[in-house]
Structure 1
Amino acid sequence: MAAIQTTCVFLLVQFGKDVEKIILRLRNDVVPKTVENFVQIIKGVEKNGEKLSYKGSYFHRIIKNFMIQGGDFDKGDGTGGKSIYGRKFEDENFTLKHKAGVISMANAGPNTNGSQFFITEIETDWLDGKHVVFGAVVEGFENIKKIVDFSVKNPGKKNVKIVDCGVLSAEEAAPYELKEEDLEKYL
């Protein structure tokens, strides 16, 4: 069976003295515009003289048995962030569903996607049709739980930081290749 076109990225997240890696497989085949936005910000793209980058930003909203939210790289409190397409861009589609361990766009209502995203700790099907899922954790899901536990024990908005991020090479991403026979799990 053929492999599906995806992109794999990593987030290196520091909380307390721990630094842990999360690897995400992004679904270019389903939501190419949303994935392109995320990947360009992962790379640290410059737009209109301003650098858009997740590196150095914080997970500003962490809720046990729900999700961790980040991506507000300019204000750090959930009120900022922007996309490579301008301040906001439209919802691409709602094909992928909110299972445990997916990455989805945070928004303030329909068609208000920017740079903020969240990674689910559990299945959150009540968000289906409201937030665009664009990938899933393929390595390091246990680190989501560690981040949540750390945050519960150490409340505060600026204590879980993305210290590095990037795109995996084709060779590095090979173990996370998505096969056609696996597609059913993600719908």
Structure 2
Amino acid sequence: MSVTLHTSHGDIKLELFCELTPKTCKNFLALCAKKFYDNTVFHRNIPGFIIQGGDPTGTGKGGDCIYGKYFEDEIVPEIKHDRRGIVSMANAGKDTNQSQFFMTYSKQNHLNGLYTAFGKVIYGWEALDLMEKETVDNNYKPLNEIKIFKTTIHANPIAEIEQF
């Protein structure tokens, strides 16, 4: 399963690890389907580290999920923050996942075991490069908005065939 983030800096296509992190992917896909992420901004951009979004308030303090207030981590030891483009849930501590997520700009092994990695960038590296180059303030908020205009969910045709 994959999702494209149509952003102000170009399209970024994500491959989701639905078999390994089903609850996280269900939440992310449901929010995409509800257009939850449409017209939201990436509120935190730390070059060399991560870019974070998924908060409709744009402050880093908001969020929502389909399971109630929060949902638990799905830490999979085989999925590591070992490269650029790993997509993970942002949280405020153990089992506090909602809608906020981040993409890594580089290898960040110290995040392993702390954040649910549920996907990876498979297209749109140029857009990620442009985002990383944006100027930020002292709180790492981009001075120019980095926006998600909309998301597109792409069905996996192999999964559909396997149902028969």
TM-score interval (norm. to shorter): 0.7 to 0.9
Shift, 1:148, TM fit: 1.4
- What amino acid maps onto 2:60 in structure 1? G
Matches within 5 A, 1:60-99: 60-73=43-56, 75-95=57-77, 96-99=79-82
Q: 1:34 aligns with which of 16, 24, 48?
A: 24
Identity of aligned residues (%): 38
Q: 2:12 maps to which residue?
A: 22
Q: Which has the higher helix share?
A: 1
Would you say the 8 A contact 2:39–2:148 is kept in 1? yes
Would you say the 8 A contact 2:38–2:150 is kept in 1? yes
- Report the TM-score when normalising by structure 2: 0.87
Take 2:16 and 2:152, find their aligned partners in 1: how far apart are those partners? Answer: 13
- What amino acid maps onto 1:59 in structure 2? F
Q: 1:135 maps to which residue?
A: 119
- Report the TM-score when normalising by structure 1: 0.76
Shift, 1:158, TM fit: 6.2
Q: Which has the higher strand share?
A: 1
Take 2:2 and 2:53, find their aligned partners in 1: how far apart are those partners? Answer: 18
Shift, 1:169, TM fit: 3.4
**Runs of 4 or more consecutive aligned structure 1 residues displaced over 6 Å after TM superposition:** none
Q: 1:183 maps to which residue?
A: none
Take 2:72 and 2:156, find their aligned partners in 1: how far apart are those partners? Answer: 29
- The Cα RMSD (Å) is 2.1
Tell me the SS of whatever aligns to 1:11: strand
Segments of 5+ residues of structure 2 without an aligned counterpart are 159-164
- Once the two structures are superposed, what CA deviation does each residue of 1:4-40 show, in whole Å capped at 9, x if it has no partner? xxx10000111xxxx4000000001100000000011
Q: 1:55 maps to which residue?
A: 38
Take 1:158 and 1:65, find their aligned partners in 2: how far apart are those partners? Answer: 18
Segments of 5+ residues of structure 1 without an aligned counterpart are 1-6, 45-51, 174-187
Question: Structure 1 residue 117 and structure 2 residue 101: aligned?
Answer: yes
Q: How many residues align?
A: 154
Tell me the SS of whatever aligns to 2:127: helix
Question: Structure 1 residue 12 and structure 2 residue 2: aligned?
Answer: no
- Once the two structures are superposed, what CA deviation does each residue of 1:81-129 show, in whole Å capped at 9, x if it has no partner? 0111112111122331102211000001100000000000101000001
Take 1:60 and 1:169, find their aligned partners in 2: how far apart are those partners? Answer: 29
